[in-house]
Structure 1
């Protein structure tokens, strides 16, 4: 299955079970949300998970594009992307965890054709405050799926205060041998789906109190699932990256991890610009600027003559179309090229400043503060220039 077929199968499966599809939002969360970008499908639904009735009912399904910067250093490995799509389902005070897991198992094995022997689950094993999640454990045992009990790995929270509860994660075997070991002991078990049972609220003093209306929140990473279903060894080999794999290696010769970083960050930058963000020194704009600078640093490390102007239009158009963004590709390209010119000028100024005698030795915190406040050179850029 390609990603579009996976999306269709997923949504149709849950619609047949009484879920209403809601429109996924942009990468920009609601104004009342403190995060810079939508990092999961549940972010736009936070008010409803906390008790407000949803206009479409208590069973929901959607496809949500997300951005996570916490995984930037892991981008380039087989499973992490900066911008990705999350398939999600929700029960707002309706069915419970066992029903969610049972339907999840049915989608994977019947709807998507996953061999049941390639599945493994993890379940909350209990701690000194909350007992083990015996309902989820029993469900998996009844289905014949091996289960591993953990504590911290299977407890979900939305921050230091707020809704929280045990979760059960579903893993798919990615190895070329018969499945072995457990998810915490063998990274060939790849997490694809998390089912969170929001049963509690953590108060400021750390006390857990039962929610008046427990909810179920699940998230299934589309690209990660697609790569496994398509028999690929990484998310960068699934079908959404087909044009990137075809065009970028011929344009710029890079080692595999650098190639993946460039593809991921450029693709992410296109999506971020497509959602209306512009480069800036703070907030969302700085996240975009940081993505662009990481790309350009990698490209110029071996060949300063490389330019984003050589990037084929097809890649920008393909990305905007895939994420259903109604933006002119030419407008996105202009933003990327202008940021490239701005960064190039900043590098030249930075080299001249750092060539001064006072910056030849080890830099102190006050040096970094001066370079940032007086010359607009952030610490990460200074470190890049010092390595040249």
Structure 2
């Protein structure tokens, strides 16, 4: 299956089961939301998961583009991305978690052709506050999938306060077609998590107390890029059709190690989506995240060759990403933003080298030194570290 077929299979499956499709919009949450970017498929639905009626009804499904900065240090491996798409299905006080689990198994097994013997599940095993999710455990056993109980990790929370509940995580074996599954998801990393099903049954208050929701919901989330990787038999998301133009153009353009190439691809692709959503580089808020992504790319490129420039980037990968995310921005506009940010960063690097050549910054830098370099000269700590290492 290519990506379009995978998305069509997902959407058709839930449409046939009475779900109304919602297409995720911008990465930017509505005004007043304290979170900078949409981080999950359920994020835009929080008021409805808390009980407000949704105009399309109580069964919903769709795809939402998301951005997470919490995994930046993980970017460069085979599965973590900064901007990604989340396939989701939701029951707003309609059907329960067992029905969602049955449909999840059916779609993976019959819709996507994943053999049941190459799937494994973990469920919430209880903690000091809440007992084990015996209902989900019994459902998975009824479906015949191997299941493992996990005491704390399978409890999903939307931050320290807010919606929460027990989580069933579905894993798929990636050890190769001729390799029989071994171990469990908690013992063998070749089990890759693909789909979470959360019984949204509780709300945690600011004081830490846990209260049951008047409207128990179901929230599921499945990363599209990771699913495509599994169904196309690739060992990383970067080998899928979603990344094909990037993987074809960038390695011949800039010779980097594998992790560096993946970081550059991810951050440029993510920056393209963020720019397409109307964000521009700045010293704070959404623009700072975009600036950080672009400057991490440049720092990686210039580590071996300071003459490298984003102006050499061809338009095809930019156009492919803008088209896939259905963004109205053109490649020329994205290139203009990237080029201007590169010019600013080159100026900052030149100024930073002159500052760091001063005698007071020649030795080991203290936290006060780093604060002074940032507050007085505008030099972030990671840039200072990179310049001194170089």
Summarize the alignment of residues 275-314 of structure 1 with structure 2, pairs less than 5 Å apart: 275-314=277-316
Distance in 2 of aligned mates of 1:301 and 1:380: 13
How far did residue 209 of structure 1 move?
1.4
Distance in 1 of aligned mates of 2:375 and 2:43: 35
User: SS of the counterpart of 2:102?
Assistant: helix
1:354-379, Cα deviation, whole Å (9 max, x unpaired): 00011001112222222112211111
The CA RMSD measured in Å over matched residues stands at 0.9
Structure 1 residue runs of 4 or more that deviate by more than 4 Å after TM superposition: none
User: SS of the counterpart of 1:191?
Assistant: strand
Distance in 2 of aligned mates of 1:200 and 1:294: 39
User: SS of the counterpart of 2:346?
Assistant: helix
How far did residue 328 of structure 1 move?
1.8
5+ long unaligned stretches in structure 2: none
Give the match for residue 362 of structure 1: 364
TM-score computed with the length of structure 2 as normaliser: 0.98
CA contact (8 A) 1:227 1:238 kept: yes
Distance in 2 of aligned mates of 1:303 and 1:162: 47
Alignment partner of 1:197 out of 192, 196, 199: 199
User: SS of the counterpart of 2:128?
Assistant: coil
How far did residue 23 of structure 1 move?
2.1
Distance in 1 of aligned mates of 2:304 and 2:220: 43
Give the match for residue 337 of structure 1: 339
Give the match for residue 372 of structure 1: 374
How far did residue 79 of structure 1 move?
1.1
Give the match for residue 246 of structure 1: 248
Distance in 2 of aligned mates of 1:332 and 1:193: 33
Distance in 1 of aligned mates of 2:194 and 2:214: 29
5+ long unaligned stretches in structure 1: none
User: Do structure 1's residue 98 and structure 2's residue 98 form an aligned pair?
Assistant: yes
1:68-104, Cα deviation, whole Å (9 max, x unpaired): 1111111111110111110000000000000001001
Distance in 2 of aligned mates of 1:74 and 1:235: 13
Distance in 2 of aligned mates of 1:272 and 1:129: 40
How far did residue 208 of structure 1 move?
1.4
Distance in 1 of aligned mates of 2:32 and 2:4: 32
CA contact (8 A) 1:25 1:44 kept: no
1:113-171, Cα deviation, whole Å (9 max, x unpaired): 11111100000011222111111111110111000100221001111221111010000
Give the match for residue 235 of structure 1: 237
Give the match for residue 30 of structure 2: 30
Give the match for residue 223 of structure 1: 225
How far did residue 204 of structure 1 move?
2.5
Give the match for residue 133 of structure 1: 133
TM-score computed with the length of structure 1 as normaliser: 0.99
Distance in 1 of aligned mates of 2:79 and 2:331: 28
Summarize the alignment of residues 21-170 of structure 1 with structure 2, pairs less than 5 Å apart: 21-170=21-170
Distance in 1 of aligned mates of 2:42 and 2:165: 14
